[in-house]
Structure 1
Amino acid sequence: MRTQLCGEVNESLADQIVAVCGWVNRARDFGGLIFIGLRDHAGVLQVVVEPDNAEMFAVAEKLRNEYCVRITGKVRMRPKSQWNTDMATGKVELLADTVELLNASAPLPLLMTDEDGEEVRLKYRYLDLRRERLQKNLRLRARLNSAIRASLESQGFVDTETPILTRATPEGARDYLVPSRVHPGSFFALPQSPQIFKQLLMMSGLDRYYQIARCFRDEDLRADRQPEFTQLDLEMSFVEEADVQGVAEGMIRDVFARVLDVELPDPFPRMSWDEAMARYGSDKPDLRIDMELVTICEQVRHVEFKVFSGPANDPASRVAALRVPGGAQLSRKQIDEYTEYVGRYGAKGLAWMKVNDAAAGLEGVQSPVAKFLDEQAVSGVLSATEAADGDIVFFGAGSRQIVNTFLGALRLKVARDLELVGEGWKPLWVVDFPMFEYDEEDQRYYALHHPFTAPAVADAGALKADPVGALSRAYDMVLNGAEIGGGSIRIHNPELQQAVFDVLGIEEQEAKARFGFLLEALRYGCPPHGGIAFGIDRIAALMAGEDSIREVIAFPKTTTAGCLLTGAPAAVEGDQLDELRLKLKPVG
Structure 2
Amino acid sequence: MRTEYCGNISIKFLLKKVYLCGWIEKIKNFGHFLFFYIKDVTGYIQIIVKEKNIKNFKKIKNLKNGFCVQILGIVIKRYKNNINKKIINGDIEIVAEKINILSKSKNIPIDLLKKNKEKNRLKYRYLDLRNENMQKNLIIRSKIIYIIHKFMQKNNFIHIETPIITKSTPEGARDYIIPSRKHIGKFYALPQSPQIFKQLIMISGFDKYYQIARCFRDEDMRSNRQPEFTQIDLEASFIDEKKIKIISQKLINKIFKKFCKIKFKNIKTITYKKSIKKYGTDSPDIRNPLKIIELTKLFKTDYILKKYKKIIGIYIPKKNNLSLKKITHYKNLIKTYNINNFFFIKVLKNINNINIYKDIKINKKIIKKLIKLYKIKEKDIIIMFITNKKNIYKKLGEIIKKIANDFNLIDKNSYKAIWITEFPMFKKNKKGKFSTVHHPFTLPKTKSIKKIKKYPKKILSRSYDLVINGKEVGGGSVRINNVKMQKLIFKIINLSKKEQKEKFGFFLNALKYGPPPHSGIALGLDRIMMIITKNLDIKNIIAFPKTSKSSCIMTNAPDKIKNSFLKKLYIKIKK
| TM-score (norm. length: structure 2) | 0.92
Tell me which of 553, 559, 566 is aligned to 1:570: 559
Match of residue 551 from structure 1: 540
Does the 8 A contact of 1:158 with 1:208 survive in 2? yes
Match of residue 327 from structure 1: 322
Tell me which of 518, 537, 547 is aligned to 1:529: 518
Give the secondary structure class of the aligned counterpart of 1:144: helix
The Cα shift of 1:84 comes to 3.4
Matched pairs, number: 572
Amino acid at match of 1:467: P
Tell me which of 433, 436, 442 is aligned to 2:426: 436
Match of residue 162 from structure 1: 162
Match of residue 152 from structure 1: 152
In the aligned structure 2, how far is the partner of 1:429 from the partner of 1:339?
29
Amino acid at match of 2:198: K
In the aligned structure 2, how far is the partner of 1:399 from the partner of 1:157?
50
> How far does the alpha carbon of each residue in 1:279-337 deviate from its partner, in whole angstroms, 9 at most, with x for none?
11111111222221111224556777x7x8744xx2xx563324263333775996367
In the aligned structure 2, how far is the partner of 1:49 from the partner of 1:337?
64
Amino acid at match of 1:2: R
Change beyond 3 A, Cα 1:25–1:244: same
Give the secondary structure class of the aligned counterpart of 1:34: strand
Give the secondary structure class of the aligned counterpart of 1:231: strand
Of 164-173 and 98-107, deviating more is 98-107
Give the secondary structure class of the aligned counterpart of 2:281: coil
Match of residue 447 from structure 2: 458
Change beyond 3 A, Cα 1:472–1:49: same
Match of residue 215 from structure 1: 215
In the aligned structure 1, how far is the partner of 2:219 from the partner of 2:426?
21
Change beyond 3 A, Cα 1:368–1:581: closer
Match of residue 280 from structure 1: 279
Tell me which of 406, 409, 413 is aligned to 2:398: 409
Give the secondary structure class of the aligned counterpart of 1:554: coil
User: What is the 5 A alignment of 1:167-566?
Assistant: 167-257=167-257, 259-260=258-259, 262-298=261-297, 310-311=307-308, 314=309, 319-323=312-316, 325-328=320-323, 335=330, 338-339=333-334, 343=336, 347-348=338-339, 351=342, 353=344, 355=346, 358-359=348-349, 361-362=351-352, 364-369=353-358, 373=362, 375-376=364-365, 393-398=382-387, 402-422=391-411, 423-439=413-429, 441-566=430-555
Of 381-390 and 543-552, deviating more is 381-390
In the aligned structure 1, how far is the partner of 2:427 from the partner of 2:4?
59
Give the secondary structure class of the aligned counterpart of 1:487: strand
Is 1:92 matched up with 2:84? no
Amino acid at match of 1:335: Y
Structure 1: runs of 5 or more not aligned: none
The Cα shift of 1:530 comes to 1.1
Does the 8 A contact of 2:66 with 2:107 survive in 1? no
Does the 8 A contact of 1:271 with 1:431 survive in 2? yes
Give the secondary structure class of the aligned counterpart of 1:52: helix
Match of residue 116 from structure 2: 116
Does the 8 A contact of 1:168 with 1:514 survive in 2? yes
Change beyond 3 A, Cα 1:18–1:349: farther
Amino acid at match of 2:79: P
Does the 8 A contact of 1:23 with 1:67 survive in 2? yes
Match of residue 63 from structure 1: 63
Q: Percent identity?
A: 34
Give the secondary structure class of the aligned counterpart of 2:209: strand
> How far does the alpha carbon of each residue in 1:455-506 deviate from its partner, in whole angstroms, 9 at most, with x for none?
1112222222222222211111111111111111100011111222222222
Of 199-208 and 462-471, deviating more is 462-471
Change beyond 3 A, Cα 1:349–1:124: farther
Change beyond 3 A, Cα 1:329–1:77: farther
Does the 8 A contact of 2:334 with 2:399 survive in 1? no
Amino acid at match of 1:433: F
Give the secondary structure class of the aligned counterpart of 2:273: helix
Of 568-577 and 40-49, deviating more is 568-577
In the aligned structure 1, how far is the partner of 2:325 from the partner of 2:118?
32
In the aligned structure 2, how far is the partner of 1:213 from the partner of 1:229?
8
Change beyond 3 A, Cα 1:464–1:29: same
Give the secondary structure class of the aligned counterpart of 1:168: coil
Structure 2: runs of 5 or more not aligned: none
Amino acid at match of 2:245: Q
Give the secondary structure class of the aligned counterpart of 1:148: helix
> How far does the alpha carbon of each residue in 1:22-73 deviate from its partner, in whole angstroms, 9 at most, with x for none?
2222122355642212211111101112243364554453333322222211
Change beyond 3 A, Cα 1:371–1:496: closer
Match of residue 572 from structure 2: 583
In the aligned structure 2, how far is the partner of 1:399 from the partner of 1:105?
66
Change beyond 3 A, Cα 1:394–1:169: farther
In the aligned structure 1, how far is the partner of 2:387 from the partner of 2:427?
19
Does the 8 A contact of 1:181 with 1:579 survive in 2? no
> How far does the alpha carbon of each residue in 1:116-159 deviate from its partner, in whole angstroms, 9 at most, with x for none?
12111111111111101000000100111111111001111111
Give the secondary structure class of the aligned counterpart of 1:580: helix
Does the 8 A contact of 2:8 with 2:42 survive in 1? yes
Give the secondary structure class of the aligned counterpart of 1:140: helix
Amino acid at match of 1:22: G
In the aligned structure 1, how far is the partner of 2:78 from the partner of 2:113?
28
Does the 8 A contact of 2:271 with 2:423 survive in 1? yes
Give the secondary structure class of the aligned counterpart of 2:218: coil
Cα root mean square deviation, aligned: 2.7
In the aligned structure 2, how far is the partner of 1:141 from the partner of 1:352?
48
Does the 8 A contact of 1:227 with 1:557 survive in 2? yes
Give the secondary structure class of the aligned counterpart of 1:47: strand
Does the 8 A contact of 1:22 with 1:69 survive in 2? yes
The Cα shift of 1:240 comes to 1.3
In the aligned structure 2, how far is the partner of 1:27 from the partner of 1:351?
63
Amino acid at match of 1:451: P
